[in-house]
Amino acid sequence: MTPEENAAIDAMDSRDTDTGEALGADEARWLSRAQQVYTDSTDYYQSSLFKNWRASIAHFRSRHADGSKYTQDAYKHRSKVFRPKPRAAVRSLEATAATALFTNDDLIDISGLDPNNEQQTQAARLHQALLQHRLDTTIPWFQTAIGAYQDTHVYGVCISRQYWTTAPPPRPITPSRWTRKPANR
């Protein structure tokens, strides 16, 4: 990892958690609990996961991990070649996952609870068409799925929360808004 990345990771512990406002007893208790959970999770992360994740990231980037004998002065004048086997293995696994996930054009299959009920069948077809369109056109589904798959092989786990928000379309600017005259229609 670069020194900037290391500094950014190390700076996470020095963040100011003071809200700057007086809290009631209940809010202070919940804030104290949240800070304790954050401290416990950070301690666990640093003691159990951090070193392994850094080594995995370095290997995926075709570099030797921090603390490796190849990064010491005794190996300074030796070959700098790092055979990128972890990256090659992950790439071939990604190709396999892409084949398994995206060989069928239908990303989802939705059906009604009662196949004999025509209304449920039609509603299921409509929901499938809408969601299929959404996944095909507006959500980078391929990048999301393959990126998550890559994270599972580099880090050993992937946790993701996907959501989208919609904003109303902007009002068109018409001459009537600026001149207070009725627009020609």
What is the H or E stretch that residue 9 is in?
helix 3-10
Which position has the token pair 């020095």? 14
Question: Which of 36, 42, 49 lies closest to 10, judged by CA?
Answer: 42
Spell out the per-residue pLDDT of the chain, length 185, in tens. 567 766 666 665 555 555 546 678 888 888 889 999 999 988 888 888 888 888 888 888 878 888 888 878 888 787 777 776 888 888 899 999 999 888 877 778 888 889 899 999 999 999 999 888 887 787 778 888 898 999 888 888 888 777 767 777 777 766 655 555 555 55
